[in-house]
Amino acid sequence: MANLWGGRFTEATDASAYKFNQSISFDKRMYRDDIKGSIAHAKMLGKQGIITSDESERIIKGLGDIRSDIDEGRLIISDEAEDIHSFIESVLTERIGDAGKKLHTGRSRNDQVALDMKLYTRSQISETDKLLDELQRALIAVMEENIDTYMPGFTHLQKAQPVTLAHHTGAYFEMFIRDRQRLADIFERMNTCPLGAGALAGTTYDLDREMTASLLGFDGGSTRNSMDSVSDRDYLIEFLSALSMIMMHLSRFSEEIIIWNSNEYRFVDIDDRYSTGSSIMPQKKNPDIAELVRGKTGRVYGALMSLLTTMKGIPLAYNKDMQEDKELSFDAMDTVKDCIREFTGMIRTIRFNKDVMEESAKRGFTNATDAADYLVKKGIPFREAHSIVGRLVLKCVDKGIAMDDLSLDEYKAESDVFENDIYDAISMKTCVDKRLTKGAPGRERMLEAVRFYKVYLEDMKA
Ligand code: ARG
């Protein structure tokens, strides 16, 4: 397939240099964005009288046909073209003749690829957001069912104070709210159209850049500086950063699920559909999906580091280095979508062993703070209460029991302030439900949180 720039050359590119230079093998996935941009450009050229309206219409029809032919498998994108832009332009010219050769008037591949990449990234932001929405819906279901599922809350991975599974899950819901906010911010900031920036310095044709911007749904209109327009990949770096953050959250959650799924914890059973066995050890059921999500986080961070590094030494304006914005970014975009999808499936089918969780909270003395607070409410200074309860905990450790299992005599041996109401005061239910500061796991607070998250999801839909 002929390239777009043969005129000045007397020798063909070396075969392996050609292969090294080409981008069609990976930018072909942008064919719909490329065609969309070209249709807008052709409409504008026609309206401005830069090409005739007949030429404009033939180009638009030709491009529409190419799109449906590729969509439906009648036209295969050939790796012989240098890039997706050359491929589509040459098929168009083959099909409609000279009019096709006018499509590139007032345009460069530099503003064209800047546009394609923005359009593609925009669609990926929306798809990622939709998947996060589904994940959040799965989390809401877990929360609603587990308002009264008591479990240990951890600090330093040591059992600390009692929380509920709803509360723990809510923490992740919050992270994904922030992730979605970041996506919306990026979408908003990148909402300007680079088309018309030309190679770097605009053009002498009387283009209507606002028209193409509006046809392509860029609410912020067209970009302000043509040199920046063709060399800006900030939005992509921001997106990779947001994707990295999403992966970091998924990875933390995965790590917890892996711990909870271990034989020692048994807080959860991952469904058979989301775990795998061992080829040698018949008893094993491994949390592979969670491990893979945790593992793939590294490769998404890698894409972010790669593009930051690629961009750091590039003088204005376009340089071919920037073609490296694609492969790893595409890989990161695919990876994150796969991870959210699989993770959501795993959450939808996971079983929480509520009794094990509650027992673990009790056995881990997560109610020790509440026992101390009980004494404080009866007039003992907190520091003293802390040491009384410390001694009680030691006694429990010796006997291998929970604080709830000590007799009243044993309590009284440390302080005669203890009465029968100590048992209610340190029950998991009381410990949790009395925690009613904003953001705490108390039942009323959690019901409020679930209501808030549901309204949030409805608002996001609208
Ligand atoms: N394949 C190129 C890229 O991805 C398209 C732009 C080419 N522009 C150029 N002046 N060679 O960046």
Query: What confidence tens digit (pLDDT) does each residue in 192-210 have?
Result: 999 999 999 999 999 999 9
Nearest residue CA, atom 7 of ligand 1? Answer: 109
The answer to whether residue 307 scores a pLDDT higher than 90 is yes
Distance separating alpha carbons of residues 359 and 116, to the nearest angstrom = 56
Q: Is the separation of the CB atoms in 241 and 306 below 8 Å?
A: no
CA of 23 to the centre of ligand 1 (A): 8
State which of 3, 18, 89, 320 you would mutate to test the pocket of ligand 1, scoring each by most atoms of that ligand within 8 A of its C-beta: 320
- Ligand 1 site, residue 323, Cβ cutoff 6 A: yes
Say how far residue 193 (Cα) sits from the centre of its chain.
24
- Ligand 1 site, residue 23, Cβ cutoff 6 A: yes
**80-127 pLDDT per residue, tens:** 999 999 999 999 999 999 999 999 999 999 999 999 999 999 999 999
Q: What number does the ligand 1 atom closest to the CA of 322 have?
A: 12
- Ligand 1 site, residue 322, Cβ cutoff 6 A: yes
What pLDDT is attached to residue 3?
Answer: 76
- Ligand 1 site, residue 300, Cβ cutoff 6 A: no
Nearest residue CA, atom 12 of ligand 1? Answer: 323
What pLDDT is attached to residue 373?
Answer: 95
Residue 247 has, within 13 A of its CA and on its CB side, a CA count of 28
What pLDDT is attached to residue 397?
Answer: 95
The answer for residues whose C-beta is within 8 angstroms of residue 216's C-beta and 6 or more apart is 36, 37, 40, 115, 119, 193, 195
Distance separating alpha carbons of residues 403 and 282, to the nearest angstrom = 39
CA of 236 to the centre of ligand 1 (A): 16
Q: What is the mean pLDDT of the chain?
A: 96
Rounded (10°) angle between helices 109-145 and 84-96: 120
In degrees rounded to 5, what are phi and psi of residue 351?
-110, 130
CA of 318 to the centre of ligand 1 (A): 8
Distance separating alpha carbons of residues 237 and 351, to the nearest angstrom = 38
CA of 196 to the centre of ligand 1 (A): 16
CA of 88 to the centre of ligand 1 (A): 14
Instruction: Please state the pTM of the whole predicted model.
Output: 0.95
**368-426 pLDDT per residue, tens:** 999 999 999 999 999 999 999 999 999 999 999 999 999 999 999 999 999 999 999 99
Nearest residue CA, atom 11 of ligand 1? Answer: 320
State which of 31, 109, 310, 322 you would mutate to test the pocket of ligand 1, scoring each by most atoms of that ligand within 8 A of its C-beta: 109
What pLDDT is attached to residue 285?
Answer: 83
What pLDDT is attached to residue 283?
Answer: 81
CA-nearest of 143, 179, 185, 178 to 164 is 143
What pLDDT is attached to residue 10?
Answer: 78
Say how far residue 350 (Cα) sits from the centre of its chain.
21
Per-residue pLDDT averaged across 51-70, rounded? 98
- Ligand 1 site, residue 110, Cβ cutoff 6 A: yes
Beta bridge partners of 164: 150
Q: What number does the ligand 1 atom closest to the CA of 326 have?
A: 4
CA of 67 to the centre of ligand 1 (A): 21
Lowest mean pLDDT among 6-20, 253-267, 319-333: 6-20
For 57-69, b where at least 16 C-beta lie within 10 A, e where not — what string? ebbbebbebbbee
For the chain, which domains are there?
15-101 (1.10.275.10), 109-149+161-358 (1.20.200.10)
CA of 241 to the centre of ligand 1 (A): 24
- Ligand 1 site, residue 373, Cβ cutoff 6 A: no
Beta bridge partners of 276: 286
Distance separating alpha carbons of residues 185 and 264, to the nearest angstrom = 42
Nearest residue CA, atom 4 of ligand 1? Answer: 323
User: Helix, strand, coil: what percent of the chain each, to 5?
Assistant: 65, 5, 30
The answer to whether residue 32 scores a pLDDT higher than 80 is yes
The answer to whether residue 2 scores a pLDDT higher than 70 is no
Q: What percent of the chain is predicted at pLDDT more than 70? A: 100
Residue 211 has, within 13 A of its CA and on its CB side, a CA count of 14
Catalytic positions: 156, 278
Rounded (10°) angle between helices 84-96 and 31-47: 60
